[in-house]
Structures are given as structure tokens and as C-alpha cells.
Amino acid sequence: MAEDGHHAPSPVSEPVPVPGQTNGGGKPGGINTNLPHFDEASLTSPRVNTPNPFSRKNTSLDLDDYFSGPRDMQKHSKWPIFLQLHGSILPKMILPLLWMGAWASAIWAIHEFHGHVDIDSILLTVLGFVVGLGLSFRSSTAYERYNEGRRYWAQLVLTSQNLGRVYWVHSKEREGEEGKKDLLAKLTALNLLVAFATSLKHKLRYEPYTCYDDIQSLVGHLDTFAQRATREEPDDSLKQLKKPNFFKAVGEYLGVSFAASNPRKMIKKASRPLGNLPLEILSYLASYTDELVANGQLPVPMQQTLAYNNLAALNDVLSGTDRVCNTPLPIAYSIAIGQITWVYIMVLPFQLLSRLDPTFIMIPATVVASYIILAFLFIGREIENPFGTDVNDLPLEAFCAQIAADLDVIASRRKPKTSEWVESVENRVMWPMSNSGWHVWMHRGEDKIREAVASKIETHLEKKKELDHLAEHAGILGKVHSHREKVTVKSAEEAV
């Protein structure tokens, strides 16, 4: 902090020459400085002046934040669930419901002024069964993909924690200057674990470049295809950071298909190879693990096996999420289910005319029925790809922030020695039977310690019986108190 009481400005990353890389002019040993530089901060270092790029609190609070996703799980709404719009499918159903209202009104006008057009309602029963089967299949397959995507990200969180513990706790640090290099290498490896999760998020959203705030400082020192493409095509890479215009944003929010852009547009238009950034990061992590083993810093074979197994688990997450993202429901099923559903609700007004009196009730009845049926169709479309930016998609930013926070916790202190926490005065080894600390029991004989351990079971049982007795006694007192109140009230009523 500066002397005048203001925060000192955050350091700005300087271009660092990298051997074997070229700048925009083709001269070796430089970095293209045309790209904007962001404040450099390691995700395993204290964030005093640098905001967490994964937190949505540091994003702009525009009006459309309420209508964009994924949903922030830490926020709580006190509105009743049936009145909440954030996450509701209703906005995408506004235009279809307006169309159904207009269609039902036209059918009613023809029926009233030009002759009867109603048909037997037997079709309502026969077709309703088929439509129900189709919508059930659509919803179940969509949720299966959603749930599978969540399992893969849970596996990614677990694997990142395991690898972070292997790198930080199990790997040994050498003496002297080499030990300082080992410490910085550990921090870099933990950063790469965060970079893997973040790059996977961008890959699943078809964002192939490295110009984003949450990834640029993590992989800027790596020689990857995506990094080269970002440096050599700064204009194309920065196009993804632009927000759509007002009409396009409204069209996407209302579910207008003509307003939706091709999510793979940037990949198709790229003139440079974009590679596979998460896979390339895995190669760097595997190389670091090999060096740990070769240098004798991971001497235990089980720890080596744990490290390589978790690297394979990261690769499994990469291929599994790619499968979920790029293997949707076959288009024939999607088209058929959509057509069958729309045919059914378009025929509804004809069948409701003969059943409702007065007949104009058919118009709101058709809209309500269309809402119920189309809701399941639209929900299936909404959650089919769980890795997007819709409100109901998986909160990938929160998962990446969780991984970064977990690795921060692991790296927050050096590997503890067993004596530091076992031989502590606050270590109540026989709690809840005894509040005595480690030092007290250390001065007692081994037989006393083993006798105390054996008696813990009986102590637990006695305390449980005592608590049950107190709870039963409290229940009896409550019943007696309630009975007394009733008797008092009854006596007062008789006196009156």
C-alpha cells in the first residue's frame, strides 16, 4: 500500500522473450505486444489487489445479467418457485404461446361465423399417448446428458485435488537454490491444474483462443497452438469478447432460431491451427511428473502410480465431456418429436370446440395446454448441452473457482510435520471422554491409555442413554405443560 493510503497499482505483465517463439514480425525471441496485457496474478498466491477472474461479483451488473447464465448457486431468491423468471423456460415460450393464441382465435372465428370445424376428441387420447412418450424420451435423454456432464466435472474437481496434493505434499523439495526452484515449479503445476479446468470450459463452449481474462495469465508462458493463434490473429480472437447487439440478444433470449449464431463459428473461420489446449496442458503436467520421478522427488512407487492415474483421469474427463458435448440426440429424433408435438397442439383447438361451452373458452384452454406440453419440449432443448451459457446450464465458472480455491488451500502452508500437530497441547486425544491434552496422556502408562480407549465405547453408550433420557423427560414435561394449559383454558371457559 502506498504512503498516501491508496492501493498501489497491480503489476502489469511485461513481454518475456521465449526461446523458439516468434513475434508478429517473425523475429525470434519476442511476444506480440499488440494484445492487451492483463494484471498478472497466480491463482495460488494471495489476491490482495487482483480480483478473482472466476467470480461473477467482478463482472458488470448490466440488466441482461438477470437473463444470462449459468445461474449463480450462491444467490437466493425469496420469490415462490412458481413466480421466479430467472431460469424459467417461459421467456422462450412467449412467441409460441402468442402464436397458439392467434391460431386458436382464428379457428374459433371460423367455427362461429363460417361453419363447424370441430372434430372428434378421440384423437386427443390417441395422439396424446404418443406425444407423452416422445416428450418423456426427450426429457430423459436430455437430463441424462446433463447429469453425465455434472459427474465429469465432479471427477475433475476430485482429480485436481488429488494431483494438487501429490505435487504439493508428496513431492520433495531439494536444498538451497534448487529448493526455491522446486517451490516455484510446484506453484506452476498447481496453476496448470486450474488452467486445465478453465481451458476445458472454454473448449466445451467453442472458445478456442487464449484472450480471456481467466486463462491468459495461466497459459501465456506455454507454447501451444491456441496461444500462437491468439498472438497471430488478435483481431479474430478478440471478436469473441464482443457482446451481441440489442436485437440479436433479445432474439436469443426469446428463443428465435434465426437470431442464434453458430457456436462453432470462430473455429470454422480460424486460419491457424487451434490445437487442443487442455490436451496440451496435460502434456506439460505429464512432463513435470516425469521430472519429479526422474529426480527422485517422488520416491514412493504408490505416489508415482497415484500421479499417473490422476493424469489419466484428467484425460478421461477431457474425452468424456467432449463426447457429451458433441453427441446430441440424433437429429431425426429431435425433428420427429418437435413435429409431432406441434401437430398435436395445432389440432387441439379443433378437438376442444365440441367439448367446451361457451366455445370461446377454447382459446385460453388451448394456450394453457400448449404451455404445459411445450414446456417439456423446451426444457429438453435447454439442458441438452449442459456446458453452455444458458441459465440452466452447469455453472462451470463456479467449478473452476472451486478448483482454484481448493488448490489455494492445499498450497497455503508447507507440508506439516506429524510432531507439529500430534504433540500439541490442544490435541485432546481421548475426547469426548477426557479433555486432557496430548502431554497429559504422554505422562501416563501405556496400560492406562489402552484402558481409556477400551472404555470410550461404554462412555459413548452411557452418554447416549443419558441424552435419550433427557429428551424423553423433556417430551413428558412438554406434554404435561400442554395439558395444564388446556385444563386452565377449559376452567376459564366454564367460569365465564
What is the DSSP secondary-structure string of 159-197?
A: HHHHHHHIIIIISPP-STHHHHHHHHHHHHHHHHHHHHH
Give the pLDDT confidence score for residue 15 in this predicted structure: 39
The answer to whether 233 and 270 have CB atoms below 8 angstroms apart is yes
148/164 Cα distance (integer angstroms) = 24
pLDDT at residue 410 in the model? 94
Q: Which residue has the cell 486432557?
A: 436
| Domain assignment present for 323 | yes
Q: Quickly count: other Cβ atoms within 10 Å of residue 237's Cβ.
A: 22
Average pLDDT for runs of 10 along the chain of length 496: 39 38 37 40 40 46 55 73 78 90 90 76 77 89 92 96 95 89 94 96 90 88 89 71 67 68 73 89 96 93 95 96 91 90 89 79 90 90 87 90 94 88 88 84 88 80 74 64 54 50
In a domain, 347, yes or no: yes
**For position 239, what pLDDT does the model report?**
65
pLDDT at 484: 54
pLDDT of residue 80: 80
Using CA atoms, how far apart are residues 345 and 44, in angstroms rounded to an integer?
55
The answer to the question of residue 423 being in a domain is no
Same domain, yes or no, for 141 and 279? yes
Same domain, yes or no, for 281 and 376?
yes
Does 258 fall in a domain?
yes
Kindly state whether residue 8 falls inside one of the protein's structural domains: no
Domain count, the chain: 2
248 and 121 inside one domain: yes
| pLDDT value of residue 314 | 96
Residue 394 in 3-state DSSP?
coil
Please report whether residue 433 resides in a domain.
Answer: no
Nearest to 213 by CA among 56, 1, 4: 56
- The pLDDT assigned to 91 comes to 84
State the Cα–Cα distance between residues 345 and 88, nearest whole angstrom.
21
Confirm if 91 and 254 have CB atoms less than 8 A apart: yes
Look up the pTM and report it: 0.76
Q: Is 356 exposed, middle or buried (0-12, 13-18, 19+ CB in 10 A)?
A: middle
Question: By the 8 A CB rule, do 223 and 19 touch?
Answer: no
Cβ atoms of 307 and 166 within 8 Å: the answer is yes
Does residue 383 sit in the same domain as residue 469? Answer: no
What amino acid occupies position 250? Answer: V
The per-residue pLDDT for 1 is: 39
Q: Are residues 442 and 309 in the same domain?
A: no
Residue-level pLDDT at 147: 94
User: Burial of 414 by CB count in 10 Å (0-12 exposed, 13-18 middle, 19+ buried)?
Assistant: exposed
The grid cell for 492 is: 376459564
Residue 320 within a domain: yes
Q: What is the spatial distance between Cα 78 and Cα 86, in angstroms, rounded to a whole number?
A: 12
Verify cis geometry, omega within 30 degrees of 0, for the bond prior to 70. Answer: yes
Residues 355 and 297 in one domain: yes
How much is the pLDDT for 318? Answer: 96
SS3 content of the chain, % helix, strand, coil (to 5): 65, 0, 35
Compute the distance between CA of residue 171 and CA of residue 99 in angstroms, rounded to an integer. 65
Q: Which of 95, 373, 110, 145 has its CA nearest to residue 255?
A: 95
Q: Is residue 446 part of a domain?
A: yes
Looking at residue 117, what is its pLDDT? 72
324 and 445 inside one domain:
no
pLDDT at 63: 46
Per the omega criterion (within 30 degrees of 0), is the bond before 15 cis?
A: no
What's residue 437's pLDDT? 87
In the three-class reduction of DSSP (H, G, I as helix; E, B as strand; rest coil), residue 363 is classed as: helix
d(CA 146, CA 387): 9
Residues 452, 401: one domain?
no
| Contact in structure between 72 and 395 (CB atoms under 8 Å) | yes
Total residue length of the chain: 496
Instruction: Enter the C-alpha cell of residue 338.
Output: 418437435
In one letter, which amino acid is 338?
G
Closest CA to 354 of 124, 103, 118: 118
Assess whether 376 and 460 both reside in one domain: no
Do residue 167 and residue 228 come from a single domain? yes
Same domain, 127 and 194: yes
Structural contact between residues 399 and 197, judged by C-beta atoms closer than 8 angstroms: yes
Together in a domain, 357 and 474: no
Q: What is the pLDDT of residue 420?
A: 86
In terms of residue numbers, what domain contains 222?
86-411
Q: Which residues contact 316 (CB under 8 A, 6 or more apart)?
A: 155
